[in-house]
Each structure stands twice: as C-alpha cells, then as structure tokens.
Amino acid sequence: MSIRPIVQLPDKRLRLVSEPVVKIDAEVKKLVADMFETMYEAPGVGLAAIQVGVPKRVVTIDATRGEEEKHPVALINPEIVWSSDEKSVHEEGCLSIPEFTDEVERPEKVKARFLDLEGRTIEVEAEGLFARVLQHEIDHINGVLFIDHLSKLKRDRVEKKFVKGAKREAAE
C-alpha cells in the first residue's frame, strides 16, 4: 500500500467523467488499498479515484468518527438509484479543495447500488453522514465538485483563489 498525492483545484482532471471499471483485477484492488491509506492519512471520510488522478469509477468511504471502530467501504461503479425529497443542509469540505468548507443542501436519504471488491452487486440505503459522503463522492466520479452546489458567486470566488494559489506556486 502507498499514499498517493491528492489532486487539487484547479487541476482539470477533477472535471473528468470517470470510466466504469470493467474488471476488478489486482490493479483495481491495489488502487482501492492505496485510496484507503491516502484517505485515512489525510484524514478524510471519502475519496474518489480521480482525486488521486485515476479516472475510474472507484470510491472509498469510512463515515465512522472518532473512537468508533473503522468501517471501510469500497464501492466500484457506484450510482444513486433513489433520493429522498427530504433535504438536509450540512457543512462539507473536500480533500481536493483544502481549507474551504461551506454548507451544502442535498437529499437526506439515498439508495446506492455498487459492486464490492468480489464483484457482488450491493444495494444500500443511507442517511446522515454516510448518505452525504456517498453523494459527494459519486459527484466526483461525474466531474462534479461540492462547490458546484453553491451559488455561482461563491464558486467563482473559490476557483479564483485556487487558480491564484497555483500561479503563485508556479512562480516560486
């Protein structure tokens, strides 16, 4: 296992629509292991493969907190198959947009379908933090970032800040 560098704004790869995984082979399993290590190290509650530069529909999540026992979930080709009309608002952040958080409104409950690492089809009903992370990560594999759920004004401001930061780094 190894920690991989996390792709950050304004890297355009974050806007790619990731490709479905056709075969869950050793390479995919290695990717998942590296993603868990990278996610726990960050630390974060979720990671999409494109955040380590791999445009595949692979997501890792662990929505447990603090002292709770770890509960890693690897999702291959995940999709939301149902969302509740009921919404909730919660603070979100993203490892690809460091040091920025804001409140995002999303459906409170979702049903998701995905393959596990053995290729079995799994369907889960999620609510609370798990539902939120699922939606955030599935957005990532579709090239969508949580700032896209904010007003255009706020999104432009954040994007500009990161473009400036990248220019400054390049100049140094």
Binding residues (CB under 5 A) for Ni ion: these are: 94
Indicate the residue among 25 and 105 with the shorter CB distance to Ni ion. 105
Note if 99 is an active site residue: no
Indicate the residue among 45 and 115 with the shorter CB distance to Ni ion. 45
Q: What is the 3-state secondary structure (H, E, C) of the chain?
A: CCCCCCCCCCCHHHHCCCECCCCCCHHHHHHHHHHHHHHHHCCCCEEEHHHHCCCECEEEECCCCCCCCCCCEEEEEEEEEEECCCEEEEEEEECCEEEEEEEEEEECEEEEEEECCCCCEEEEEEEHHHHHHHHHHHHHHCCCCHHHHCCHHHHHHHHHHHHHHHHHHHHC
Q: Residue 91 CB, nearest distance to Ni ion (Å)?
A: 13
> CB-based burial of residue 110 (10 Å sphere; 0-12 exposed, 13-18 middle, 19+ buried)?
buried
Q: Residue 115 CB, nearest distance to Ni ion (Å)?
A: 21
State the catalytic residue, choosing from 86, 137, 169, 172: 137
Indicate the residue among 24 and 35 with the shorter CB distance to Ni ion. 35
Q: Residue 74 CB, nearest distance to Ni ion (Å)?
A: 16
Angstrom CA distances, 103 to 17, 31, 84, 100, 149, stand at: 24, 30, 19, 11, 9
Indicate the residue among 94 and 138 with the shorter CB distance to Ni ion. 94
| Residue whose beta carbon is closest to Ni ion | 94
Q: Residue 8 CB, nearest distance to Ni ion (Å)?
A: 10
- The residues that are catalytic are 137
